Every structure is written in structure tokens, then in C-alpha cells.
Amino acid sequence: MGDTGNTRVLIAGGGVAALEAALALRDHAADRVSIELLAPEPELWYQPLSVAEPFGLGEVMHFELDAIARSLGAHRTPAGLTGIDAWRHVAHTTRNTEVPYDILLVACGALPLPAVPGAVTFRGAADREKVAHLLDEIASGEVRSVAFAIPWGAVWSLPAYELALLTAAHLDAHGIRGVELTVVTPEAEPLQLFGPPASEAVRSLLDASDVALRTGAYTGGFGDGVLELVPGPELSADRIVALPRLEGAPLDGIPQTLAGFIPVDAHCHVHGVADVYAAGDITSFMVKQGGIATQQAEAAAEAIAAAAGAELDPRPFHPVLRGLLLTGGEPWYLRRELSAAPERAPAADYHALWWPPAKIVGRYLAPFLAELAGVETPAELPATAPDMVAVEVDLDAETIAKLATSQFALEPGHREGESRVADVMSRDPVLVAPEDTLGEVAERLVQRGATAAVVGEQGRPVGILTTADVVRASAARVQPNETPVRLWMTAEPVTVPPHWPAAAAALLMSEYRIHHLPVAEDDRVVGMLELEDVRKAEMLAGTGLGAAGDE
């Protein structure tokens, strides 16, 4: 507890999820919590309109975080989160300081990393000048073909379609003809998360704008005017504009996936870590979008408020996916219920499908930012718009997993005589439990001469711990005989089935830059595959393989 007797809530982050949570906590438990924002950046940049700015159709707004914090009765510490000591309830920062907390909410977002070597990466407002320069190159005749690439991985794909459509509209408005525009995506259908109506609408918009579409294509590198695609054929283009792949920054003492994301439960509590929650892009929820982030933040805030003694029954995370597609003409509103039994069919319309019709739909944040910006937001739907509805439903995790492109998921073929994973894997991997200590697991790894252990619950793989993780924990000076594996393992590990070709598994390991791959069948661990074993098998077969990166 703080000096006032209130619960000290530390919110790590300064983006939409962090601010939505702070606003919700002020509403639910203002007299029971003290709020501190741990955020390295001094401003919040409202990114959704960043795609429109290079075309002169919008302006990215920014707001001073210190002023926002003061208006909430909170304060900001100008630093980022690097890890925690879960036992002491202390957060470690980028300034080598410690910040105590009673409850921690991790809402620090994800890092937008280049995913297509050789391409122009569009991360938002920071790259608007790159897009503006590309438009100048097109106008001068230097560039005659552009592809907008959506990589596999954790990606919000909508901006790629917006960039393509806005570019087409810009060229048409300026009388520029003969420029080839293409969208390349690993999705089976454009914007497939929103359902068939949205996909059909986007296809029609692309066709009407003379924008070509390549679906089911995984991007490789770009060089000498050629974009590598799997499966082929390759694509010729003068320039590639690619969206970034999102990854979470490593946070010591918090379980994270291979891509750095944090698994949470329905109330956004971090699995196995007391008094720690997470919301927004840093979580392992597959859909990375501002509206989803605010909904997670609301669920986390209600759970935190209840833990602080507020009288409310916290509601679990009930996300609904909404998107506003900028086209250069009338914007299109996209909505889909991804539940197993949706109450309404998916919808795509140029009439608003929710209210207020903002790019980021946050119960608290949207009106708060509108007030700061001096924009008047109507409180109610117009009486003449009966189709404008707000929908609150459960997302179906299985459906999302099938539609999302967060994994490199090509179904591999098999050649006669080719080694399978079952032929080269270890059939007796080191299996440990999440609550085993680092010291116990290190001892078992030494005894077995192994470099990685599969972390399992009831036979199901929930993580992997390597010797590199043990060294990292040691560098953080944790107590190995007291610290559970769960805090330092890689959660939700990538797995392969035993019938896969070994070469395909090696490609997967190379894409993810890993050396150990649990083998699972019917969601149960049956072995461990090591890159070195696959290399040896392929060398014996006379094929050879390229090296994967470091873990």
C-alpha cells in the first residue's frame, strides 16, 4: 500500500491500452488506488490516421502524457519497463531504477520491426515522409510499380489495404496512369478476420481501383526489383511498402511467448504471476488492434479495481472486432462477431456500424481524447440511422486461430525418402512443470546433457526453457532455488507434429530463429527436435540446410 493507504497501481505504458485502463480505474476505484504511469515517451501519438497524412487527408494528433496523467490524478515516471521482481513487487526500469507496486498492469505495446528485408517499412506517423517520398518518385516517373506487403506474424493488416487504396485514389486525382499497384498477403481472403462481406467489399474496392491482389503468399526478401514469395512465383516491383511484424520487448521475470507476448486469462491476469496483469498488443491475443487493446484494458481495470476493494463484479474480456477502412473516398465500416454462434452476420458498409464512429473505439479513451482535441462527439445515434448498432459478443479463440496469420503456417509436402520429424527427434525430452525451480531444471539439464526442457501441464506443452534462459535469469541475479520456471520460460511454444518433413521443421526453426522445437501430437509432447540433429540428417541425405539465427 502507498502512503495514503491506497493500492499502488503501476501501469507500464503510455499508449491506448494504458490510458484506457487509467481512465477506467479512475471511474471504478478513484478513492482506492493511486496510479503511476511508467512511460518513456513524453507524448501519446494517435496513430490510426497516420496512413492518411502522406496524402494530405488527415493529421496525426499527439497529446502530452504528463498533462493527461495530471488530469487523472496520477503521475508519470519517464522510463520503460525492463522486468520485475515478482517476489518483492518491484518493477525494473530502463533507467536502472526500481519502482514498487501493489498491482502492475503491463500495457507497453509491441515493437514494430521490419519484416521484409529491402522494403520500406510503414510503422505509422514516423514513416509518413517515406510514403510522401514514394509518391514523389511515382509522380516523377521513377517508380512504375509498387506492392504493399503484409508479412506473416503478429500484424494488423488493415493499413496495407488503406495505403494501396489511398495511393490509387491519389494517382487518379493527379492524373497519373500506368502505375501497377499490388497487395500481397498471407491471408486466404483480404481482411479475412472481418468475414466474407468485408472481404468481398475490399475485393470490389481493389478491383475498382485497379489494384492487384495476391493472397496466400508469404513474403521473403526484396532486392533487384524482385519480391520473394512462398509459394511462388516471385513478384516484380520497383518498390515494396511493407507493414512491420510486431514483437514484444523482453521483460525479465514475466512469461512471454517466442515473439515476446504475454499470455493472460479472461481477466487479463498474467498466468502464474501474482498481482500482474497485461493488456493490449503486448498480450498473446492474436488480434493486434487499438479497439481490442482498449477492451482488454477495461477488463484488466475492472479486475484490478475489484482487487483493490471496489464493489463491482469484474467482467471478463469480451472483444468485438471493428475496423474503419480509409479508401480515399467514402470510408467503410467493418464489423464481425467471431463467436461460435454469432447473433448478427458479419457486416461491411459505408454507413457507421457503431457509435461514435471513431478509428479506435474505447469506452473511456475516445470521448476523453475528443475532449482534449476540442472535437464535439455526439452522445447518441442519429434517429435516421437504425442500422448503427454496438455489438458485445465473445470472440471464439478457435475461429481466430484459423483466420489469423500470426504463424508461418504453410502445410508442407513430403518427398519420397525424405526424413520426417519422427525420424530425427529425441523421444525422451526433459519434461518439467511450470512451478519447478530454475535450480531444479538446471540440475536435470546437466544430468541429461540437454540444452532445453519442455514445460508441460497435464501433458500439454505450455512453454520451453533453454540454457540461455537460465543464464539470462542468473544475470538478473534471481534466486535459482526459489524462482519458478514459469517466470523465465518461453510461453506458448511453437510445436510441430511428428509426421512433418524434417526439412520443413528446419525451415520453421530458421524463420523463428530457434534451435529447439517441441514435437506434439494430439496436444501432448512426444519429443524434442534440435536444429543440429536436423542438419546432420539432411547432410547425410546430401541436401544440407542454411543456419538459423541465435536463440
Does residue 42 lie within any of the structural domains? yes
What pLDDT does 190 receive? 92
pLDDT tens digits, 460-477:
899 999 999 999 998 888
* Residue type (1 letter), 8: R
**Residue 220 is placed in which grid cell?**
521473403
Q: In what order do the strands lie in the sheet containing 81-85?
A: 81-85, 90-93, 98-100
The region of weakest confidence among 109-123, 373-387, 470-484, 516-530 is: 373-387
471 lies in the same domain as 522: yes
The residues that bridge with 103 in the sheet, in sequence order, are 9
Which pLDDT score is estimated for 81?
98
Residue 155, by phi and psi: left (phi above 0), alpha (psi -120 to 50) or beta?
beta
Is residue 181 predicted with pLDDT exceeding 90? yes
User: Do the domain assignments include residue 346?
Assistant: no
130 and 197 inside one domain:
yes
Average pLDDT, the chain: 84
Query: What integer pLDDT is reported at residue 5 of this predicted model?
Result: 67
Highest mean pLDDT among 357-371, 385-399, 483-497: 483-497
On whether the CB atoms of residues 216 and 242 are closer than 8 A, the answer is: no
| pLDDT surpasses 70 at 393 | no
pLDDT of 295 over the 80 cut? yes
The x, y and z cell numbers of residue 411, run together, are: 502445410
Cell (9 digits) for 374: 476540442
* Span 455-459, average pLDDT: 87
370 inside domain: no
Residues 97 and 120 in one domain: no
Number of Cβ within a 10 Å radius of residue 174: 11
Which pLDDT score, from 0 to 100, does residue 78 have? 96
Domain-embedded: residue 32: yes
CATH of the domain at 223: 3.50.50.60
pLDDT at 410: 53
Minimum mean pLDDT range among 82-96, 179-193, 303-317, 331-345: 331-345
Residue where one domain finishes, among candidates 258, 280, 307: 307
DSSP string, 150-193: --SSS---HHHHHHHHHHHHHHHHTT----EEEEE-SSSSTTGG
Provide the pLDDT for residue 347. Answer: 59
Interhelix angle 502-512/531-540, nearest 10 degrees: 140
For the chain, percent of residues with pLDDT exceeding 90: 57
132 plus 220 within the same structural domain: yes
| Domain span at 206 | 113-245
State whether residue 280 is helix, strand or coil.
Answer: coil
Of residues 164 and 344, more confidently modeled: 164
pLDDT band at residue 48 using 50, 70 and 90 as cut-offs = low
CATH number at residue 447: 3.10.580.10
At 104 the pLDDT is 98
Q: How many domains does the chain have?
A: 3
On whether residue 402 sits in a domain, the answer given is: no
Residue 270: closest CA among 283, 285, 288, 251: 283
Kindly state whether residues 102 and 219 are assigned to the same domain.
no
Mean pLDDT of 423-442: 93
Q: Are residues 100 and 161 in the same domain?
A: no
**299-313 pLDDT, tens digit each:** 999 999 999 999 999
Q: pLDDT band at residue 113, thresholds of 50, 70 and 90?
A: very high
Strands (E), 189-244: 211-214, 218-223, 226-230, 235-236, 239-242
Residue 490: inside a domain: yes
Among residues 273, 288, 307, which one ends one of the domains?
307
Res 458: pLDDT: 83
Nearest to 527 by CA among 537, 535, 519: 519
**Residue 122 backbone phi and psi in degrees, to 5:** -100, 105
pLDDT over 70 percentage in the chain: 81
| pLDDT interval class at 165 (50, 70, 90) | very high
Question: What is the pLDDT at residue 126?
Answer: 85
pLDDT value of residue 386: 31
Neighbours of 233 (CB within 10 A): 9
Which of residues 272, 292, 307 is at a domain's end?
Answer: 307
399: exposed, middle or buried (C-beta count within 10 Å: 0-12, 13-18, 19+)?
middle
Strand partners, 212: 182
Do 224 and 119 fall into the same domain?
yes
Same domain, 490 and 529: yes
Asked if 457 and 509 sit in the same domain, the reply is yes
Is residue 486 a part of any domain in this protein?
yes
- Residue 7's Cβ-count burial label (10 Å; 0-12, 13-18, 19+) is buried
SS3 433: coil
> Is residue 173 domain-resident?
yes
pLDDT score, position 211: 97
On whether both 458 and 518 belong to a single domain, the answer is yes
Instruction: Give residue 531's pLDDT band: very low, low, confident or very high (50, 70, 90).
Output: confident
CB 28 within 8 A of CB 305: yes
Same domain, 458 and 491: yes
C-alpha cell at 39: 512511460
Q: Please tell me the distance from the alpha carbon of residue 295 to that of residue 279, in angstroms, as a whole number.
A: 9
Q: Is the pLDDT of residue 94 over 50?
A: yes
- Residues 199 and 290 placed together within one structural domain of the fold: no
Beta strands in 43-140 (DSSP E): 43-45, 62-64, 75-77, 81-85, 90-93, 98-100, 103-106, 111-113, 120-121
